Amino acid sequence: MTFLLFSFWMIFSGGQYVEDQRFGAVFGLVCHVCRVIACFGLLGLSAYNVLQRSKEISIRKILGATEITLIYLLREFSVIGRGRFGHCRACRLDS
């Protein structure tokens, strides 16, 4: 009896949430597309930062800077990095 009642309920309520499931799928797809676009924007910003500071990077490399210090130099004022927004002592390599 319970199985029969359960299957009747599944048949009766099966079509009620189809529209919500479709909306959720479309919304998830739009969120993923926005995330990919944001990643490309961050990649473009970092590439622009490297191009703007190419002379400084090459002079520091000639004077003996390691790759770690160059990465820290580029990360210091990036959007994701420490920059002006946070002063975390644990993130610093020279401390």
Task: For residue range 14-61, list pLDDT tens digits in order.
Answer: 667 778 888 999 999 999 999 999 999 988 888 888 888 889 889 999
pLDDT band per the 50, 70, 90 thresholds, residue 8? low
Residue 42 contacts residue 79 (beta carbons within 8 Å) = yes
* pTM score over 0.95: no
- pLDDT of 95: 43
> What are the boundaries of each domain within the chain?
22-91
Angstrom distance (rounded) from CA 9 to CA 11: 5
Q: Which residue type is seen at 38?
A: A
